[in-house]
Amino acid sequence: MSDARIVDRGYRPYDGPRLGAPGAIRSLVRHTAWRVLGIRRNARTKVLPALSAGIAYVPAVVFVGIAAFIPDDRLRDDVLPSYGEYYGFVTMAIVVFAAFVAPEALCPDRRSGMLGLYLASPLTRDTYLLAKGVAVGGLLALTTLGPPLLLLLANTLQGVGPDDPLDVLTTLARVVAAGFMLAAFFTVLSLVASSLTDRRAVASAGVVLVLLVSAVVANVLVEEMDAPGWVLAFDLFDTPFELAGRIFGERGEVPEVSTAALATSAAVVIGLGSLFVRTRYQRLAVVS
Amino acid sequence: MIRAEGVSKWFGDVVAVSDVSFAVGPGVTALLGPNGAGKSTLLRLLCGLARPSRGQVEVLGGDPREDLSLFARIGLVPQQEGLFEAHTPLEFTTLAARLSRVPDPEAAALAALDTVAIDPASPKPVRALSKGNRQRVKIAAGIVHQPEVLFLDEPLTGLDPRQRRVIIDLVHRLGEDGRCVLVSSHVLDEVERFGSRVLVIAQGRLAAEGDFRDIRALMDDRPHRLRVTTDAPHRLAAGLLDQAVVVGAAVTGPAQLEVETTDAPAFRRTIAVVARERDVRLDEVVPLDDDLDSVFRYLVGR
């Protein structure tokens, strides 16, 4: 009798655990984060994320070192920035990430047709965008939240930061609030640009253009055409960092703009931007 | 002698071997598959050179990754040119014997070189040998310790027809000695000459195992194609269709008919009866797709 056999290599049903929509969201967040960071991709894709992280964390590490090794209190106080001032050192890291790294989260899915495959899973358009937003926002928070937290921790341990436990908690709350505000602001900005094109380079150019044009227009209007000071709240480059400073009770380069105007501007950008991206994706014709 | 049970091997995101189960006994078995199908990875798993990501491999009743004593009973002739170039064939084969802890390495090396018809007195270093002779030296090193199980990875690559004949005869002899010989290849006419028992791997999965003629017989969904030479092809075709033993017939020449049947035994029983009834002379009946090439194309193209 023959012992020959032909093995069925055809369709095999998945018999592992089914994690449903929450599992799909978690999976998409994880894989989006990997893709954005260049994990399991070639070295070229890792350069910009590494550059962002470097720009964001190196100053914090240097300042921690200064706090630890310079015994002179006055010299140390002159050199070390306040928490609000620290964002001036990481501005470029945040902008580089928002403009050049984050578009990787949305653009390739539409360009390659992966969006159709994602939407054939338990993901809806809203949960898809939620996962993308969480991934980009979470990574941006690493640059907006991580370094000030590191600074706070080191300063507290060195005894040069807030001394009182209540002060520590207050500073921590401010660090968290400012970090999340900056991450949300730039995440939305990046997602808006990425939702308009499936080309990453165009999205990157769009983010940079919006930041620069809004800054130039707002400043020209106020300084050359005598527009009221609150117009500077629509300078999208400076507004989020000025607002971050205000969260720490510090006034930066546009003291004439009220905190309420800055907060309103940031809320409008985040709110309208989110609505725009959602509407755009709800109306998007998905073909795979 | 060899058993694989649900064996998978992946490298990061790449699945090289997926859920493969089979058993191989004594004699020559060909491991067949297109380039990149996972043949070499499977051989490495069977030799114990790699650990399965999932599943179990058993060779001579033990796990080749755990039971080190098995190495003395397993031989591997790899595809790569892993030779010590400066050694003579005798030195290289003797070294292989020593590494396998053979009691009398030089005598074992002489016997192995004799088996592959390489002159042990040759002063030429391995690097100066022809491709065919280098291949034979590799085989000598693989069999110098008289392994019960021998794996050969693409042993005929780069050899001329005469050298291929020598290696094929050698593999046949090893199989007839009662050893389990597993030969991987992607060249079908080579495999057919090694023997009729095959393991077919495609895209990392086992597609079929057994005698390829039996595998062909199992392919119910593929009608058998046969060429019939006769003096009256139209009349014969009509008779065969009338008896419903063929599902298709095409007259391809003044004396030639090609038919497709899903029931080869019934066709064989009926064709002579039909020929006699219709007063048709039958000159030849030749199967067109019972060779290994057709079986392989059907399996891999599924």
Strands of B282-287's sheet in order across: B248-253, B256-261, B224-230, B282-287
pLDDT in tens, A100-146: 888 999 999 999 889 999 998 899 999 999 999 999 999 999 999 99
pLDDT in tens, A243-260: 999 999 988 888 888 999
pTM for this predicted structure: 0.62
Task: Give residue A216's pLDDT.
Answer: 95
Q: What is the pLDDT along chain B (302 residues), one digit of tens a residue?
A: 899 999 999 987 788 999 999 999 999 998 988 888 888 899 999 999 999 999 999 999 999 988 888 888 999 998 877 667 888 999 999 999 998 889 999 999 999 999 888 898 888 888 888 888 888 899 999 999 999 999 998 888 777 788 788 888 888 888 888 899 999 887 777 777 787 788 988 888 998 898 888 887 777 777 888 999 999 999 999 999 999 999 999 999 999 999 999 888 889 889 999 999 999 999 999 888 777 777 787 777 65
HSE, CB side, 13 Å, CA atoms: give it for residue B162. 3
Task: Give residue A260's pLDDT.
Answer: 93
Instruction: Identify which of B12, B214, B299 has the shortest CB distance to residue A2.
Output: B214
> DSSP of A154-217, one letter per residue?
HHHHHT-S--SHHHHHHHHHHHHHHHHHHHHHHHHHHHHHHHH-S-HHHHHHHHHHHHHHHHHH
From A242, A220, A240, select the one nearest A231 (Cα to Cα): A220
Measured CA to CA, the distance from residue A48 to residue A238 in angstroms comes to: 22
Task: Give residue B133's pLDDT.
Answer: 86
Q: Tell me phi and psi for residue B3, to 5 degrees.
A: -140, 130
Does the pLDDT of residue A75 top 70, yes or no? no
From B285, B278, B273, select the one nearest B236 (Cα to Cα): B278
- Of A56 and B213, the structure prediction assigns the larger pLDDT to A56
Determine whether the interchain pair A2/B217 forms a contact, defined as Cβ–Cβ distance below 8 Å.
yes
Locus of tokens 């550059």: A51
HSE, CB side, 13 Å, CA atoms: give it for residue A54. 6
Measured CA to CA, the distance from residue B150 to residue B153 in angstroms comes to: 10
Task: Give residue B131's pLDDT.
Answer: 83
Cβ contacts of B209 on chain A, cutoff 8 Å:
3-5, 7
| Residues A265 and A235: beta-carbon distance below 8 Å | no
Pairing of strands B224-230, B282-287: antiparallel
| Residues B137 and B118: beta-carbon distance below 8 Å | yes
HSE, CB side, 13 Å, CA atoms: give it for residue A195. 24
Determine whether the interchain pair A7/B208 forms a contact, defined as Cβ–Cβ distance below 8 Å.
yes
Does the pLDDT of residue A42 top 80, yes or no? yes
Domains of chain B, CATH where assigned? 2-217 (3.40.50.300), 219-288 (3.30.70.100)
Judge if ipTM > 0.90.
no
Rounded to the nearest angstrom, the minimum Cα separation between A1 and chain B is 10
Distance from the Cα of residue B141 to its chain's centroid: 21
Task: Kindly state whether B249 is in contact with chain A, defined as any CB-CB distance less than 8 angstroms.
Answer: no
Task: Give residue A105's pLDDT.
Answer: 94
Q: Which of A2, A7, A31 to mutate to test the interface with B (most CBs of B within 10 A)?
A: A7
Task: Kindly state whether B210 is in contact with chain A, defined as any CB-CB distance less than 8 angstroms.
Answer: yes
Task: Kindly state whether B219 is in contact with chain A, defined as any CB-CB distance less than 8 angstroms.
Answer: yes
> DSSP of B38-98, one letter per residue?
SHHHHHHHHHTSS--SEEEEEETTB-TTT-GGGGGGEEEE-SS----TTS-HHHHHHHHHH
| Residues B63 and B2: beta-carbon distance below 8 Å | no
Q: Which of B198, B199, B205, B294 to mutate to test the interface with A (most CBs of A within 10 A)?
A: B205
User: For A214-219, what is the mean pLDDT?
Assistant: 94
Q: Tell me phi and psi for residue A4, to 5 degrees.
A: -70, 150
Instruction: Identify which of B202, B203, B215 has the shortest CB distance to residue A4.
Output: B215
Task: Give residue B117's pLDDT.
Answer: 85
Spell out which chain A residues touch chain B, with contact meaning CB-CB distance below 8 angstroms.
2-7, 9-10, 40
